[in-house]
Amino acid sequence: MDYRIFNNTVYIRLDRDDEIIGNIIEICRNEHIGSAIFSGIGGCKKAEIQTFIPETGSFETQSIEGMLELVSLNGNIVTDDNGEYFSHAHAMFSFKKDGGHHTAAGHIKSITVLYTAEIELRPTVGGTIKRRSDPETGTGFWNFDD
């Protein structure tokens, strides 16, 4: 993994076997970025995609593996009042299976790079978006309270 900062935007190159979400959070910690949005593309080999099931209040996880084209990754990073980092990301992948072309998409738990991924990380300018927990769903949401 390597990255550069140009005009308040972080450009990240991830390499074989790098885990995308964990590396984005690590950069935010190292650069003291309290909240940001990110997007990216790449060639990946494994992804854990989750779907929230409201009736059970839990996530159902689907793992996919193989040559996965990361068609689109979009998400955000926020911190809570204790400084803990949280990611909320969604992605879409295309891949071949049984001779046909397929797609899979949803909430992202983790993504492992096959050969490269290119991520643009844009820190929040002029403030920090915090996270608040929702006890009803067990998930978190943006908190704009000062």
Number of residues in the chain = 146
Hey, what domains does the chain have and what are their CATH numbers?
A: 2-143 (3.30.1330.80)
Among 3, 115, 11, which residue's Cα sits nearest to residue 70?
A: 115
Tokens standing for residue 8 = 């308040």
pTM of the model: 0.93
The pLDDT tens digits for 70-118 are 999 999 999 998 999 999 999 999 999 999 999 999 999 999 999 999 9
